[in-house]
Each structure stands twice: as C-alpha cells, then as structure tokens.
Amino acid sequence: MQTRPGVGVGVVMTHNGKVLLGKRLSDHGGGTWCFQGGHLELHESWEDAARREVEEETGLSVGKLHFSTVTNDLFDSGKHYITIFLIAEYIGGEPRVCEPDKNECWEWFPWDALPSPLFLPTQNFVKSGCSPFLSG
C-alpha cells in the first residue's frame, strides 16, 4: 500500500499543432490515452527521466525540454501521484510501440480534439489550462 505520493514525469511531445498520445494497456489506467512518461527514478533529473521515458516508450529522441506544470493526481484506486509535466521538442522519426505490454498505440491528435477517455494526469494537465503551444 502506498504511504506517500509517487512522483511521475509526463512528457508532452508536440509536432505540427498536434500532441502525441498513447493508449494504455496496464491495469493502472488501461484503455485511457496519455502522454509519454513514467516514474522519476532515484537521483534522476526531470529532464533525464523525460528523455528516458520517451525513448523507452516510443523509440523517439527529444530536443529541448521545458517545464510546464505539476499536477496532483488522486486516483480512485487509492494511488496518489505528483506529476511533473515537461514540453518536449520533436526532432523527427515515427513513434513506435516499444513496450507492447504497456501501450497499444501512439497517435498524434490536435490539441482541440483529444481522444477520450484521458488518463488522470493527462486530464489534470488539460484542466490546468496549460497549453503545450503557448511559449513563455
């Protein structure tokens, strides 16, 4: 049983006005759509975690990364995560399913036409009002 929140890193990859989302297969959020991401490992920077997760999940590399927001994700299952979101510069290539036990597919979606249902951290990112297309 979880006694403290876990820390996740969410990576919002953008390209041609679209964001990359994967359809989850795991028990935790199965059937929902999410950004790339996963757990922050001990002594790992947010940026290193983001790069590692994107490569592990999609086979893609990312360019520049910048911080966007943090969400407080309280799941109905009792799990609790703090998710640190980074916006990632797309530098090329086609995403592929590198972890077929975790994701069914990767697809690009317009920001104003996201699929449903969204994974809770992805929902909370959207609800926060953050946009991956606003430069700061």
Kindly report, residue by residue over 14-67, the tens digit of the pLDDT: 999 999 999 999 888 999 999 999 999 999 999 999 999 999 999 999 999 999
Q: Which amino acid is at 28?
A: H
pLDDT attached to residue 134: 67
- Who contacts 8 (Cβ-Cβ below 8 Å, separation ≥6)? 37, 38, 39, 40, 73, 81, 82, 83, 84, 121
Tell me the C-alpha distance between 93 and 91, whole Å. Answer: 7
Q: Which domains, and CATH codes, for the chain?
A: 6-127 (3.90.79.10)
Q: At 135, is the pLDDT very low, low, confident or very high (cuts 50, 70, 90)?
A: low
Kindly report, residue by residue over 103-121, the tens digit of the pLDDT: 999 999 999 999 999 999 9
- Who contacts 98 (Cβ-Cβ below 8 Å, separation ≥6)? 56, 57, 58, 59
Structure tokens at 63: 């360019």
Kindly report, residue by residue over 66-76, the tens digit of the pLDDT: 999 999 999 99
DSSP-based three-state secondary structure for 86: strand
Question: Taking all residues of the chain, what is their mean pLDDT, rounded to a whole number?
Answer: 95
Q: Whose CA is closest to 59, among 9, 97, 88, 109? A: 97
Q: Which sign, positive or negative, has the C-alpha torsion 101, 107, 110, 116?
A: negative
Q: Which amino acid is at 86?
A: L
pTM for the structure as a whole: 0.94
